[in-house]
Structure 1
Amino acid sequence: MKHIITILFVGLIFTSCSKVLDKKPEAVFSPANFYKTSADGIAAVSAVYSPLFSPNLYNQVMWVFQDQSTDDAEWGNGRNTANQAKNDLDKYTFTPSTVYFYALWTTCYQAINRANTAIDNIPGITMDATLKSRLIGEAAFLRAFYYFTLVRLYGKVPLITKATKDLSNLNVPRSPVDSVYTQIIKDFTVAENSLPLSYSGTDKGRATKGAAKAFVASVYLTLQQWDKASAKAKEVIDLESQGIYGLWTNYSDAFLVANKNGKESIFEIQALGGGFGQGSFMQGYMRAPYDRGGYGDDPPTKNIYDSYSTSDKRRDVNLKLFTSPPAPSSILFPCYVGKYQDPGATANGEGNNNYPIFRYAEILLIYAEALNEQGSNNPDAYAAINRIRNRAGLNDLTPNLSQGQFRDSVYLERRLELAFEGHRRYDLIRTGKLAEAVNAQNPSIIIKPYQVLFPIPQSERDANHMLDQNPGY
């Protein structure tokens, strides 16, 4: 899906002639005069997608949250960075004023307000009923996605489901976590009931029925509602027989530019190189500084590198270990993310690599985990995880494992399979292993219990006196 970034603005040009002020501006866009045609509805929903690609979300900040604040990536070991915020996330010295918290928070709420505006106004457009239902479903899907992001990182957050129309009633308190999750499930269910299974042409990449089902399964997994998680994951797996989803033969195939929005893709953020201003920054930010002038962000730890067996085909796709030279001898472990490199990109910000938010491989792992939590030695759970392992060149999982042993095996497979795809922090939080894992990777980092949730941005609390802070900050 090509990005359509809709900017709504009022253009007023003041001159020395006072009569100009008596004229009505001709370029004022508002819900009252914008939502007239199906094209308006499409543009409005496309604008809800666009923040996903922002540097404040998946084009940078989310990598810092998901990787550098976990055991998968860490600054130091001979590397220097002038970015204090990244170091603070890395070493858990952050405060409510750390800029990344504000960046992600405000970008998510900007997107939520766009979704609210679309949901409020698209019903009034005279247009094809199927398209109208689809657009409302897409907006609901995206609103749920942004709230799912916020609630997992911050805990209680303001729950706003109506568009902000003026400057009144801007101070909104945080809602209970249960209320936020109830709304998330409701929105994903609306999307599931109104979205198509697939798209064609330039619409590829938009949210689908299968994506809504997959995210509901992920929500239930997060809430430890195992029976609901496995049932919803099975609905997605059943779509494989219809040719909707499947695994590529080779793990590396899932990240080829040629396979964007292919059979393993459930939902991914679209990138378009070629000078359109919509290319991916991953191929530049994550590439080694001595490899075509990369930035060397998200430096993987030896901990994750050593977690792969030498026979695991995923290791050398996900990670690129250099020798010295070309790596400076000061860098103790010169390893970088390898899976998002676009060989055809000529500059940072010009990668054609999509960013995978949800792959079919993950739904198999959700299914395996949820089944095991309902009872050990489930053959379908073994079959699901073994599909992932076998593709990676590994043997079947040892049979007759205890429930705990199988659980740990799934956790490991998620780390290795989904490395640097925006899942690690979420997984460590929901499994209660964040402090343990980070400390095992670097014993000097001691995570205080309250740091499992990020602080509410201080600037937001300054502006909204009804926002309380997470305990401990």
Structure 2
Amino acid sequence: MKNKRYTIITVFIAFAMAVGLAGCKKGLLDQHPLNQITDETYWQTSDDATMFATRMYTYMPQDNFVYYEGMSDNGISNDQTTRRFGNSTQDPTISSKEWSYEPMRQAFSFFANVDKVPGMDPALKKRLTAEVKFVLAYRYFIMTTLYGDIPFVNSLITDPTKADLPKTPKADIMKAELDWLDEAAADLPLSYTGADLGRATKGAAMALKARIYLYAGDYQNAAAAAKAVMDLNLYKLYPTYFDFFQKDGDYSSEDIWSFGYTLSVHQNGLRDILGSQALMNGRNILDPTSELVNDYESKNGYYPYTKDPAFVATDPYNNRDPRLRQTVLCPGDIYPYPYFADINQYDPFNNQGDRIGGDLGSRSGYSWCKNVDRYDYVRSGVNNWKAFHYAEVLLNYAEAQNEVAGPAADVIAALDQVRSRAGMPTIAQTFSINGLALNQTNMRNFIRHERRIELAGEGLRYFDVLRWKIGEQVLQGAIYTVDASAGITNISTANGHINKYPKTVVEQRFFNNAKFYVWPIPQFAIDDSKGILTQNPLWK
């Protein structure tokens, strides 16, 4: 019989229950009570193995990954856990967001049981095993990136007395991640069609490998890994920046791996998290900061934008990098797809829903439009979460190669691809207009700026802050609202409305200790380990 295909969408319905596994205790490895479905009864068909492997994708980045923006200088959130990480008041009682060994338990259960399936096609088994390795590598990568040294589980633990493990150095776990990705890349296809869209590809494994090396500061290998993705000649930038993050860009030539959503099965929550209340029926849970908005260049490449001779204080969002208004709703902007037919102007000074300080209003005076589904206003949205895409690979390559060999032609070419798609001047033009010498230091600073702009709203800025060790510079001090003290020309003052707003402190941030570059291990995990697992030294 022909095998059924299970996508990362259908898995939410088809495999909502946890498959029971030979168990160990709840605690360090997050075990759950055994289900009536057991290893002995489950692994009967290829469909069982496919469904089990598909469930692994639920451990990959989804819409809530955007909350990491609120932990960086790009965003401010009214979600209290996110906000505490953003203002550096976190502690071990709230640091469990990424602490989970359930993905490892599921992965090694798959490895231990997949050979039991009778008559399974060897090619399918090899591919599914590679998919599971991809997810396993990502989960260890995200945990070690945030927590540092952690316990390393590399087999299925069935003895409860062996469930508590000491830490393994992060560098040793990274070697395992890279091995899994090399093995996965060798066995994964270049692409899929139909219902298999959204599964891991060779390019996805290679892109994750490049990100791992980059975050580790291994620039030689990071450049080589990113270049390998580029040399596949499979990916290219989507023509329009804004549209790529809509449904239009799902599974496109830029989309290396994304978490999928559909109207009938599972919608994303991005409208609630990011969206303007008045224009999008959103909840403004996470807002852009004015610090992010002020970092966008002028359309002509002047940096800061106020250096541009065309700058007008009462029209500060005009003549800017086009990505600004494809990412952020600025005061006075007209949004072309309003939820309410009689309101299409973003106005945080007068609109009841978005008013600064209101129940569902913006904290900063800005809201997001990037990633918010512009078509489906009744529900949250059905556009995919683009976890790995080609623009990031180009930026990863440019950063790593600049660290290896300086701002050579290949670095500039990668950056110019990104800027050309955005409608911005070339590197040569931008450096010239700003009087910058073309050297490694200036290029390093510019690449960091370009990453912030191109990847804004994707959750990656927080990880850049951690690995660049710039928290003391960008996450210390006051976060402000929009500064509209000169007035915003596009906002009418008819009917008693205002078009001015004074620059006001929203919150103070306190990144004043090196411990904030690593997360504390959750207190519950330490308590459950009976002394074997110890807290990260800076958090003791």
Q: Distance in 1 between matches of 2:50 and 2:363?
A: 50
Could you tell me which runs of 5 or more consecutive residues in structure 1 were left unpaired when the two chains were aligned.
11-26, 76-80
Aligned to 1:24: none
Using a 3 Å threshold, how does the CA distance of structure 1 residues 86 and 428 change in structure 2: closer, same or farther?
A: closer
Say if 2:333 is the partner of 1:333: no
Asked whether the equivalents of residues 130 and 185 of structure 2 are also in contact (C-alpha less than 8 Å), the reply is yes
Structural mapping, 1:316-395, within 5 Å: 316-321=325-330, 322-323=346-347, 324-326=349-351, 327-330=354-357, 333-348=364-379, 350-395=380-425
Say if 2:66 is the partner of 1:63: yes
Structural mapping, 1:155-304, within 5 Å: 155-165=148-158, 167-240=160-233, 244-274=234-264, 276=265, 278-304=266-292
Of residues 325-334 and 251-260 in structure 1, the stretch that sits farther from structure 2 once superposed is 325-334
Which of the residues 443, 459, 474 maps onto 1:406? Answer: 443
1:116 to partner: Cα distance: 1.6
Residue identity opposite 1:49 in structure 2: Y
Asked whether the equivalents of residues 247 and 384 of structure 2 are also in contact (C-alpha less than 8 Å), the reply is yes
Asked whether the equivalents of residues 195 and 207 of structure 1 are also in contact (C-alpha less than 8 Å), the reply is yes
Of residues 434-443 and 451-460 in structure 1, the stretch that sits farther from structure 2 once superposed is 434-443
Q: Distance in 2 between matches of 1:219 and 1:118?
A: 24
Q: Secondary structure of the residue that 1:212 maps to in structure 2?
A: helix
Q: Distance in 1 between matches of 2:378 and 2:84?
A: 28
1:332 to partner: Cα distance: 6.3
Q: Distance in 2 between matches of 1:358 and 1:59?
A: 13
Asked whether the equivalents of residues 317 and 338 of structure 1 are also in contact (C-alpha less than 8 Å), the reply is yes
Residue identity opposite 1:371 in structure 2: Q
Say if 2:517 is the partner of 1:452: yes
Say if 2:99 is the partner of 1:105: yes
Asked whether the equivalents of residues 314 and 416 of structure 1 are also in contact (C-alpha less than 8 Å), the reply is yes
Asked whether the equivalents of residues 89 and 510 of structure 2 are also in contact (C-alpha less than 8 Å), the reply is no
Asked whether the equivalents of residues 246 and 374 of structure 2 are also in contact (C-alpha less than 8 Å), the reply is no
1:63 to partner: Cα distance: 2.9
Aligned to 1:14: none
Aligned-pair RMSD on alpha carbons?
Answer: 2.0
1:472 to partner: Cα distance: 2.9
Using a 3 Å threshold, how does the CA distance of structure 1 residues 51 and 214 change in structure 2: closer, same or farther?
A: closer
Using a 3 Å threshold, how does the CA distance of structure 1 residues 292 and 231 change in structure 2: closer, same or farther?
A: closer
Structural mapping, 1:110-121, within 5 Å: 110-121=102-113
Using a 3 Å threshold, how does the CA distance of structure 1 residues 230 and 51 change in structure 2: closer, same or farther?
A: closer
1:283 to partner: Cα distance: 1.9
Q: TM-score, normalised by structure 2?
A: 0.77
Q: Distance in 1 between matches of 2:377 and 2:407?
A: 50
1:146 to partner: Cα distance: 0.7
Aligned to 2:493: none
Q: Distance in 2 between matches of 1:150 and 1:249?
A: 34
Residue identity opposite 1:43 in structure 2: M
Q: Distance in 1 between matches of 2:529 and 2:363?
A: 45
Using a 3 Å threshold, how does the CA distance of structure 1 residues 223 and 445 change in structure 2: closer, same or farther?
A: same
Aligned to 1:49: 57
Asked whether the equivalents of residues 98 and 142 of structure 2 are also in contact (C-alpha less than 8 Å), the reply is no
Asked whether the equivalents of residues 271 and 283 of structure 2 are also in contact (C-alpha less than 8 Å), the reply is no
1:310 to partner: Cα distance: 3.8
Q: Distance in 2 between matches of 1:172 and 1:279?
A: 38
1:28 to partner: Cα distance: 3.2
Structure with more helix by fraction: 1
Residue identity opposite 2:509 in structure 1: I
Using a 3 Å threshold, how does the CA distance of structure 1 residues 441 and 226 change in structure 2: closer, same or farther?
A: farther
Asked whether the equivalents of residues 469 and 517 of structure 2 are also in contact (C-alpha less than 8 Å), the reply is no
1:395-435 Cα shifts (integer Å, max 9, x gaps): 11136611011111111111111112121111111111122
Using a 3 Å threshold, how does the CA distance of structure 1 residues 458 and 347 change in structure 2: closer, same or farther?
A: farther
1:445-466 Cα shifts (integer Å, max 9, x gaps): 2211101111111111111122
Q: Distance in 2 between matches of 1:44 and 1:103?
A: 23
Q: Distance in 2 between matches of 1:184 and 1:48?
A: 16
Residue identity opposite 1:87 in structure 2: R
Q: Secondary structure of the residue that 2:534 maps to in structure 1?
A: coil
Could you tell me which runs of 5 or more consecutive residues in structure 2 were left unpaired when the two chains were aligned.
1-6, 21-34, 300-320, 331-345, 432-436, 480-506
Say if 2:137 is the partner of 1:137: no
Q: Distance in 2 between matches of 1:245 and 1:462?
A: 47
Aligned to 2:452: 415
Of residues 318-327 and 414-423 in structure 1, the stretch that sits farther from structure 2 once superposed is 318-327
Q: Distance in 1 between matches of 2:415 and 2:255?
A: 18
1:162 to partner: Cα distance: 1.6
Q: Distance in 1 between matches of 2:245 and 2:478?
A: 27
Q: Secondary structure of the residue that 2:208 maps to in structure 1?
A: helix
Asked whether the equivalents of residues 154 and 454 of structure 1 are also in contact (C-alpha less than 8 Å), the reply is yes
Using a 3 Å threshold, how does the CA distance of structure 1 residues 3 and 168 change in structure 2: closer, same or farther?
A: farther
Q: Distance in 2 between matches of 1:219 and 1:389?
A: 24
Residue identity opposite 1:90 in structure 2: G
Using a 3 Å threshold, how does the CA distance of structure 1 residues 294 and 415 change in structure 2: closer, same or farther?
A: same
Asked whether the equivalents of residues 271 and 353 of structure 1 are also in contact (C-alpha less than 8 Å), the reply is yes
Residue identity opposite 1:264 in structure 2: E
Asked whether the equivalents of residues 3 and 46 of structure 1 are also in contact (C-alpha less than 8 Å), the reply is no
Using a 3 Å threshold, how does the CA distance of structure 1 residues 256 and 223 change in structure 2: closer, same or farther?
A: same
Aligned to 1:74: 76
1:231-265 Cα shifts (integer Å, max 9, x gaps): 1211111122xxx2111122122112032111101
Q: Distance in 2 between matches of 1:332 and 1:259?
A: 30
Say if 2:495 is the partner of 1:429: no
Residue identity opposite 1:301 in structure 2: T
Say if 2:524 is the partner of 1:468: no
Q: Secondary structure of the residue that 2:160 maps to in structure 1?
A: coil
Q: Distance in 1 between matches of 2:456 and 2:139?
A: 21
Aligned to 1:90: 86
Asked whether the equivalents of residues 210 and 226 of structure 2 are also in contact (C-alpha less than 8 Å), the reply is yes
Q: Distance in 1 between matches of 2:383 and 2:285?
A: 17
Asked whether the equivalents of residues 87 and 475 of structure 2 are also in contact (C-alpha less than 8 Å), the reply is no
Residue identity opposite 2:375 in structure 1: G
